[in-house]
Amino acid sequence: MQIGDATAHVDGMPIHLEQAPTIENKVTLVPIRFIAENFQQTVAFDEQTRVITISPPVDQSSNTALPVKKRLDKPTVDNLTSQNSIKIPLTGLLPSSRPYPHYFLSDIEMISDGKDDLYFISQNDQSNFYIKKMNLSKGKEISLETILSFNDEKFDFEYKDEHGSVSKFLRYEFIPKSLFYDQASDRLFVMGRDFYNKMAVFYQVWPSVKMIAFDTSGQLDTDTDFIQPLKDGQTYVISNSFKNILYTAHEGERLTSYMSVEGNRMHHLVPLVSNGILYVLDRESKQIKEITPGVGSQVVATLNMDQINIAITHDGSFYLTDAKQFYRVNVEGEIEPYANMDLAIFKKGIFNSLTGNYDQMPIPPGYSGAINDDFEPKKMVLGISPHFAINADGNILIYDDINLILRKITVFEN
């Protein structure tokens, strides 16, 4: 880094700094997050206490080897919620054939922080959106907590259009569509669009709200494109599936700088950062590509799979599904069967994480003479687009869209 220069170099690669190094009262001030994260440290900022915490990754903080997890012969499936105990938030208004209401909610947007929390986009009507959090360590007391409303002036920002005129994007225009969680920086992001589908916007929403990048081409697909922070914490890679390109963005900027990624149009790229290197999985071509921002991409593996329905990432691996089971895949393309749902054992009742026991499935009000078994959910079908996440124990959290409940697929012995 150089004093007064907002460009730093990491291993010869230029990186844009949010704040250039400076000298004040004979003291050199440098961006602490940028330096810490480039030495593979984790930086957390508590806005209430104004405390910055820098900590090493788990593998640096202890020389004690982690215990080897033993895989179950057959995965078990626990019910974490019921339709009566908690309603999973839905989004996406679709027309209804009934005279009233005229619309119904049709989809779910769920993501995990890799620990005990799940985050959802919640929609109360056509214009009111929220982010809700569910903590899964509370046993019978599992509930949804509203942590953010999109009806907040923090989501307003000014920008220059293509002609250089200053315009203002207002929170009332924003429709959130997708959630993204970055484990390395412990930050939550949301991508959405305006009502007219002319503008796509990316925000950081946790631990604080700020606009990250925006696009006015009208060609970003807010259901399949992604945002991925790089290791400097201030540079982001954003996909445009329609154009087969990856943008390199800096906080608060319009998307302009990009590189081409060969593939099929409207493919779905899934990002993964491993050892500081960015990879993407193309679900259609089944290829894993290594990305060098500003330079290009190269294919490092082609997966020998008939189909990939959904793919997510967790702790340096891809997790995929086909019609019957889950797989774990590393960046070299090695495929490991993870959980076969044909072998799964389905448990009765609602699993209580505090006691380790199973509480009876509640009977809905108004059902006289009914028994709890009458309301036990049936076996789960993965389908073509299951909503799932991986928790800290390597087990699968999945939304059962037939029975409208949240379930846990236990893969390893406790």
Neighbouring CB atoms inside 10 A of 61's CB total 9
Peptide bond between residue 99 and the one before it cis (omega within 30 degrees of 0): no
* Dist. CA 179–CA 184, nearest whole Å: 16
Identity at 352, one-letter amino acid code: N
Helix (H, G, I), strand (E, B) or coil at 56: coil
Measured distance CA(110)–CA(399) in Å, rounded: 9
Residue 174 above 70 pLDDT? yes
- Upstream peptide bond of 207 is cis (omega within 30 degrees of 0): yes
SS3 content of the chain, % helix, strand, coil (to 5): 5, 45, 45
Long-range (24+ apart) CB contacts under 8 A made by 331-336 are: 331/272, 331/274, 331/277, 331/279, 331/288, 331/290, 331/300, 331/301, 332/300, 332/301, 333/288, 333/300, 333/301, 333/302, 333/303, 335/303, 335/304, 335/305
Task: Assign 354 a pLDDT band (cuts: 50, 70, 90).
Answer: confident
DSSP state letter for 264: -
Question: H or E element: which one contains 37?
Answer: helix 32-38
Average pLDDT over residues 380-387: 84
pLDDT digits (tens, 9 = 90+) for 128-142: 899 999 998 887 778
User: Which band of pLDDT confidence, cut at 50, 70 and 90, is reported for residue 93?
Assistant: low
For residues 388 and 321, the answer to whether their CB atoms sit within 8 Å is yes
**pLDDT above 70 (res 99):** no
* pLDDT > 70 fraction of the chain, expressed in percent and rounded: 91
Side-chain-side CA neighbours of residue 346 (13 Å): 11
Count CB atoms within 10 A of the CB of residue 287.
19
The DSSP-derived string for 250-262 is ETTEES--EEE--
- Residue, of 289 and 64, whose pLDDT is higher: 289
Q: If we measure between CA atoms, which residue out of 138, 119, 140, 122 comes closest to residue 130?
A: 122
Q: What is the signed CA dihedral for 399, 405, 411, 413, rounded to 10 degrees?
A: 150
Q: Which residue has the higher pLDDT, 204 or 58?
A: 204
Place of tokens 């809905």: 364
Measuring CA to CA, how many Å separate 393 from each of 156, 234, 315, 390?
39, 30, 11, 8
What one-letter code names the amino acid at 399? Y
Share of the chain above pLDDT 90, in %: 39
Instruction: Report pLDDT for 60.
Output: 45
Take residue 149 and report the two structure tokens written for it: 């409303």
- Each residue of 109-119: pLDDT tens digit? 999 988 889 99
Under the phi-then-psi rule, with left for phi > 0, alpha for psi from -120 to 50, and beta for the rest, what region is 375? alpha
**Cβ neighbours for 68, distance < 8 A, ≥ 6 positions apart:** none
| Closest of 407, 411, 402, 409 to residue 81, by C-alpha | 407
For the segment 53-64, the average pLDDT, to the nearest whole number, is 62
| pLDDT at residue number 313 | 93
Side chain identity at 151, as an amino acid letter? N
Six-digit token pair at 132?
Answer: 């809700």
Check: pTM over 0.85? Answer yes or no: no
What tens digit of pLDDT does each residue of 6-45 get? 888 887 777 888 788 999 888 899 988 888 888 888 888 7
- 317, 302, 309, 88 alpha-carbon torsion, rounded to 10°: 20
Euclidean distance between CA atoms 201 and 397, whole angstroms: 28
Q: Supply the DSSP string of 271-296, one letter for each residue.
A: EEEETTEEEEEETTTTEEEEEETTTE
